[in-house]
Structure 1
Amino acid sequence: MSIIGIETVLYGVDDVAECTRYFIDFGLPLHDRSDTHAHFRLDEGSNVVIRALGDPAIPANCVVGPGVQEVIWGVDRQESLDRLVADLGRDRDVRMDPDGTARCLTDDGFAIGLRLYRKNPVVSAPSPINSPGNINRINQHRKWIARARPKTIQHVVFQTPDVERSWAFYRDRLGFRLSDIQKGFGVFARADGAHDHHNIYFLNANLPFKGPGVWGMDGNYRFDHVNYGVDDIDEVMVGANYMQRQGWPQSTWGLGRHRIASSLFLYLPCPTGGQAEYGADSDHLDDSWVPRVWNPMFGFFSFITNMAPFMLDAAPWEYEYAPGYTPERKPHAAAGAQPAAEAARGDAKAAS
């Protein structure tokens, strides 16, 4: 085991005060703040830091526009950190901070860090679910909550012009595992010491959706969103309603559930750039999982509140094992198998 999840996301933004207010309303626990930064700390011990674009604490990197400018990955032990740093130091500059954090750039120029991470146990207690013939809650209301309070950072997503290059670095140099492939759209991957369905998603920035920003691709490396984990569907929607009452823009798509990862989602426009996602009830994986290749629309959602025009046609029921994997859960060198990200790139016409 080595990397166990996201320890810190560092945002570079246009307006620190506005973004701080947003995340307070969103439910992130504020740790400290000043005129130049805000620092939130979640129950698991992960951190969200907001600084202004141009702040010297933000490393130079390949991200175009505002959003997450650096991800620090949490490492389980010193031996793991030393091994990763020694390997990365073979072909790139690795800077060691006084606190023991190692910082460098990925092959496509994104800023990452590696830091020892003592993850806190997280306790949640969603209400029992009743369904016909399966009664788990008798003489008891579901919990009543007034605000969402995310406990974890589940994943981060970037639009990348070269999915294969981006994914290969995390696979070959950081030990990430392939989770699933959304054909034509991108690659889902998880850290080797984590059990989230994915900790990072590399989204094809060359998809035929016009303009910069979320679901508007222009071929540049851009921040897309961070997923913040809450208990259940109630907390997702209570959080969304509270944000609306505070005057923040509503979600375009509303509540939905992905087939890939099985997770509930609700994406909210965010003044940091990109979106902030409430997420719940995702699949958890171990190394016996067999990655799939999914029809992009079939994998994207099983239901969604507000379907966009391109979602109206029912997607074919289509997925298969990823190239190089078998149902016996062992990777193999299949004759003529595509690289994972090549399958993810697919054909732009098919992706549309």
Structure 2
Amino acid sequence: MPVRRLNHAVLWIRDVDRSVAFYADALGFRVDHVIPGRAAFLSAPGSSNDHDLGLFAVGADAPGPEQGRIGLYHLAWEVGTLGELAGIGARLVELDALVGSTDHLVSKSYYAKDPDGNEFELMWRVPRADWPAPEAGLRPGPLDLQAAIDRWGQDLATGAAAGSAT
């Protein structure tokens, strides 16, 4: 029996209040429950999950994630429109959290790090009809968000926002 989707993610963090503030401000998560100083459970707007993100504090002196080490590299959250991706990207720049971007051909993505160094991706799914054929031999490259907006507009909802699981 196959899995269907990621239900929630749990991160080790240093400070509950700081991480809750970041995820609420940067990504619009709402706080479902907080155990002061120890843990918090947050949900994305419109989510039907009990929670989408769990945060568990391990202390201010805990070492952060290290690139190239065994463990989770990043999580990817889907946004519904290119306008939403642009807005979140601008907020991540203001928070000095944006670390990169990529045009994956089937998605347009920003990469960022939270205050503890946990990396995450924000992605918009290209309409399935516009995915390149595998035999085209195309490779991911730099993100040109304005070109994507010029092609699909800033308000075209795709993926889960359009009611699609593919």
Q: TM-score range by the shorter chain?
A: 0.5 to 0.7
Aligned partner of 1:31 in structure 2 is 32
Aligned letter for 2:82?
A: I
Q: What is the alpha-carbon distance in structure 2 between the residues aligned to residue 235 and residue 272 of structure 1? A: 24
- 1:21 Cα deviation (Å)? 1.0
- Which TM-score applies when normalising by structure 2? 0.65
- 1:40 Cα deviation (Å)? 0.8
Aligned partner of 2:71 in structure 1 is 222
Aligned partner of 1:264 in structure 2 is 108
Q: What is the alpha-carbon distance in structure 1 between the residues aligned to residue 92 and residue 111 of structure 2? A: 12
- Whether 2:54 is the aligned partner of 1:52: answer no
- 1:41 Cα deviation (Å)? 2.1
Aligned partner of 1:252 in structure 2 is 99
Secondary structure at the residue paired with 1:273?
Answer: coil
Correspondence 1:184-333 to 2 at 5 A? 212-213=66-67, 217=68, 220-245=69-94, 248-254=95-101, 256-259=102-105, 262-282=106-126, 299-301=139-141, 303-304=142-143
In the TM superposition, what whole-angstrom CA distance separates every residue of 1:234-266 from its partner, at most 9, and x where no partner exists? 101111223344xx2142334x3203xx11101
Aligned partner of 2:163 in structure 1 is none
Structure whose alpha-carbon radius of gyration is higher: 1
Whether the aligned pair in 2 keeps the contact of 1:11 and 1:272 (CA below 8 Å) is no
Runs of 4+ that moved beyond 3 A: none
**Structure 2 vs 1, CA of residues 15 and 50 (structure 1 numbering), >3 Å: closer, same or farther?**
same
Secondary structure at the residue paired with 1:3?
Answer: coil
- 1:231 Cα deviation (Å)? 0.8
- 1:233 Cα deviation (Å)? 1.1
In the TM superposition, what whole-angstrom CA distance separates every residue of 1:272-324 from its partner, at most 9, and x where no partner exists? 4331221111577xxxxxxx69x8xx5332x325xxxxxxxxxxxxxxxxxxx
**Structure 2 vs 1, CA of residues 276 and 37 (structure 1 numbering), >3 Å: closer, same or farther?**
same
Structure richer in helix, relative to its length: 2
Secondary structure at the residue paired with 2:100?
Answer: coil
Whether the aligned pair in 2 keeps the contact of 1:227 and 1:279 (CA below 8 Å) is yes
- 1:32 Cα deviation (Å)? 1.6
**Structure 2 vs 1, CA of residues 34 and 222 (structure 1 numbering), >3 Å: closer, same or farther?**
same
Q: What is the alpha-carbon distance in structure 1 between the residues aligned to residue 126 and residue 116 of structure 2? A: 25
Q: Which runs of 5+ in 2 are unaligned?
A: 129-133, 145-166
Aligned letter for 1:258?
A: H
Correspondence 1:27-176 to 2 at 5 A? 27-35=28-36, 36-42=38-44, 43-45=47-49, 47-53=52-58, 66=64
**Structure 2 vs 1, CA of residues 66 and 10 (structure 1 numbering), >3 Å: closer, same or farther?**
farther
**Structure 2 vs 1, CA of residues 52 and 250 (structure 1 numbering), >3 Å: closer, same or farther?**
closer
Q: What is the alpha-carbon distance in structure 2 between the residues aligned to residue 253 and residue 2 of structure 1? A: 32
RMSD (Å), alpha carbons: 2.9
**Structure 2 vs 1, CA of residues 273 and 227 (structure 1 numbering), >3 Å: closer, same or farther?**
same
- Whether 2:11 is the aligned partner of 1:8: answer no
- Whether 2:20 is the aligned partner of 1:20: answer yes
Q: What is the alpha-carbon distance in structure 2 between the residues aligned to residue 283 and residue 224 of structure 1? A: 26
Identity of aligned residues (%): 13
- 1:23 Cα deviation (Å)? 0.4
Aligned letter for 2:96?
A: P
Q: Which runs of 5+ in 1 are unaligned?
A: 55-64, 68-211, 285-291, 306-352
